[in-house]
Amino acid sequence: MSEELNPFEIAQRQLDTAAEIMQLDPAVHEFLRWPIRELHVTLAVRMDDGSTQIFHGFRVQYNDARGPSKGGLRFHPHETIDTVRALSAWMTWKTAVMDIPLGGAKGGVICNPKVMSPGELERLSRAYIRQVGRILGENLDVPAPDVYTTPQIMAWMMDEYSVLRGYNVPGMITGKPLPLGGSAGRGDATARGGMYCVREAAKLLGLKTEGMSMAIQGFGNAGQYAATLGPELLGARIVAASDSQGGVYNPKGLDPDALIAHKMETGSVVDFPGSDSITNAELLELDVDILVPAALENQITLDNVDQVKAKIVAELANGPTTPDADDILYKKGIYVIPDFLCNAGGVTVSYFEQVQNSYGYYWKELEVHKLLDEKMTTAFHSVAEAAKAYDINNRMAAYVVAVGRVAEACKLRGWV
Ligand code: NAD
């Protein structure tokens, strides 16, 4: 059976289902199916060997009814405009479900950062801001890191934007290094928020997280912090992890710090001493308590959903589960914490970063953790209550909460 895998068509289909459940006004529904604006740019970048390479990039501002738009920036060889559109839609629902006063956007550049030097990455980052900077700003649209972009890239972008404006504008981007106005607690915020959600889910299910086994697909920012915070916050045991080159498994547990050190040293989790090799596909099918997709879209599909055995799926990645697979997970009684709720810790602390930048006063890490916990816990329970009230799965419940808030803002503004 063939399945729709275009992320934007998936995002639209999810919205359509939610609109039906909510009996959303047809004009509001049609308005919310599309990005409000998007910019396509072509960037010429001088490479280290003296040649000039041409790159294509995007910025999509999906909806800013609730506040300036917000969303990460991805550098990836397979980036497409439809992926960026989908991610910008999910950002809109994410800021709304968290009830933070921001809209949704996303950006991307088609490139392979793994084969680019730091100098080439810096020139590409600055070129992106020279073209896209005209639609960015702390009251307009604020980017952040995503797949294969880093705090260093945010720093170059902030500097280029400040040069263009002629004054320092730290609040135009988040996920910056601490000395340039980054927030304490931003680094691990996505994984931390996800672990708070797992804690709340376990309470609802009457389960103890202590000793639970956890498998993590994707071992970058989100995945590595999940590996250390799973044991620290939940008492969970990391039994498997993978990255784009393959995976490792040990049912007795993997030492997260040693695994991170191995990845830093060799570039991959593969061949970690004391573990067996597994493929990414096998990792998703392990008999574990908690499965954490933390890589890319379309990982749990009709092809493998029947083999998924986890009790809880905590989606740190955006769009890891297709709608058809989602229905089956729900029928199987697997508790899914949907992406734009589960991974919202990152944007929440990015929002805290914007707030701190605007008043020039910085909070301590423990304060950030406390505020993040409050925000995640409140959002988690608003979704759990909607799921119960409408008798729907958690993803649709998150849509009902988020779309309701965005629709209300659009109506109040007189847009629709
Ligand atoms: P990252 O670039 O730090 O790491 C990505 C990881 O995924 C790498 O380890 C890479 O090897 C691995 N990977 C790539 N393709 C893979 C594949 N086919 N199978 C298994 N692993 C694969 O990126 P990140 O910031 O950790 O983002 C990961 C996911 O989390 C993305 O979906 C992103 O949109 C989402 N997310 C990240 C944040 C954040 O704050 N970083 C916030 C919200 C959502």
Structure tokens at 195: 């672990």
Residue 108 phi, psi dihedral angles, 5° rounding: -165, 155
Which amino acid residue places its CA nearest to atom 22 of ligand 1? 244
Which atom of ligand 1 sits closest to the CA of residue 339?
44
**Span 293-298, average pLDDT:** 95
Instruction: Using the structure block, give the residue that is written with the tokens 């800021």.
Output: 95
**Span 26-31, average pLDDT:** 98
Catalytic positions: 106
Rg (CA), the chain: 20
**Span 2-19, average pLDDT:** 94
User: The whole model's pTM is what?
Assistant: 0.96
Alpha helices in 206-274 (DSSP H): 221-229, 256-266
pLDDT, the chain, mean: 97
Q: What are 352-400's pLDDT values in tens digits? A: 999 999 999 999 999 999 999 999 999 999 999 999 999 999 999 999 9
Instruction: Using the structure block, give the residue that is written with the tokens 């060889």.
Output: 77
Q: Which amino acid type is present at position 286?
A: L
**Which domains does the chain possess?**
36-169 (3.40.50.10860), 189-342 (3.40.50.720)
State the distance from the centre of ligand 1 to the C-alpha of 22, rounded, in angstroms: 32
Among 326, 365, 332, 330, smallest CA distance to 349 is for 365
pLDDT at 279: 97
State the distance from the centre of ligand 1 to the C-alpha of 354, rounded, in angstroms: 23
Which atom of ligand 1 sits closest to the CA of residue 146?
25
Which amino acid residue places its CA nearest to atom 15 of ligand 1? 244
pLDDT at 2: 73
Which amino acid residue places its CA nearest to atom 16 of ligand 1? 244
Q: Is the pLDDT of residue 1 over 60?
A: no
Which atom of ligand 1 sits closest to the CA of residue 347?
42
In angstroms, the CA 131 to CA 231 distance is: 43
Per DSSP, the three-state class of 95 is helix
Query: In Å, how far from its chain's centre is CA 52?
Result: 32
Ligand 1 contacts (CB < 6 A) are 145-148, 190, 217-223, 242-244, 280, 294-296, 316-318, 343, 346
